Structure 1
Amino acid sequence: MLSEKMTEALNGQINKEMYSAYLYMDMSAHCTYEGLGGFANWFMVQYQEEMSHAMKIYDYINEQGGKVVLHAIEKPPGNFGTPLEMFEATLKHEQFITKSIHELVDLAYEEKDYATQIFLQWFVTEQIEEEANDNELIAKLKLVGNDGNGIFMLDRELETRTFTPPAGEE
């Protein structure tokens, strides 16, 4: 059984994951508008991942006898700039999410909530991957700079990304 404090914190994380999804959907729309279909695809897959993260926490709260309480989702900024600026913002956002996950782990340890500690380890590992993906794309974007051919090639590469649901969610 989850404590009230842990339930409240996990509900807060659902909101952060939903905001992440909303942010990436908005970035996808921006890329579509700019004619960058591959970048749009990458961000839409990211949207799907973030929604699955929110649902993973939603299901966990319910399985542990807690009450899910949904909060309003903040509007994304809507002005994203260049692809490099978008991925730098994405990395900054994922670092914020990583910090939030670490705070949840700290709370689970503080409360001796072993089930939640184990549950959250998946998210700790996932955040390592999220930040590594962003760093890789930032490096590639810095390498190509403003070269249209380089952006075009990277756009084609990002077009191939597909969503793979986390294990147990197929």
Structure 2
Amino acid sequence: MNIHFKINRALLAAIRTDLRRPHAFAHERLGFIAAGLAAAHDDLMILAREYRPVRDEEYLQDPSVGAMMSAEAIRRARQWAMNDRAAIFHVHTHGGHGVPGFSGVDNRENARFIPNFTSVAPHAVHGAIVLSDTAAFGQVWLGRNAPQPFVARFTEVGMPVNTWRAA
């Protein structure tokens, strides 16, 4: 499957700005992106449309990770998926330049909570994205027990258009 994630430059800039904000004890910020979908044959287009940060009070103190969100943060995002019939993507940043990758902690935690979105909002795919300052990397859950392919291409829509391959 050829998966393409598109996001408006202003939305991406706002997300990056939000994810750089300091937190009282968490070492990084977390959020969620809602997206629409378009599919044809073996192509899936994911169109980012809105961002919501994890609220300050929804972070848990866990020194073993950069940031840990509460069950309430996940519940709110799942409700958003159901109410708006949206594809939901968990997002955070590792900073730096070039195409980032998920850490071992990212892989473990994504595998624990992303499949739950497919249970409450099976009309859409859901996933996770990690940003750098210049690119992104992502993975999509097609269903609870379905394959989890990586996003093959990202496009930042603006002037000029920026595209990078990530998988």
Q: Which of the pair is proportionally richer in helix?
A: 1
Max Rg structure: 1
Q: TM-score, normalised by structure 1?
A: 0.28
Q: Relative contact order (alpha carbons < 8 A, sep ≥ 6): 1 or 2 greater?
A: 1
Q: TM-score, normalised by structure 2?
A: 0.28
Q: Which of the pair is proportionally richer in strand?
A: 2
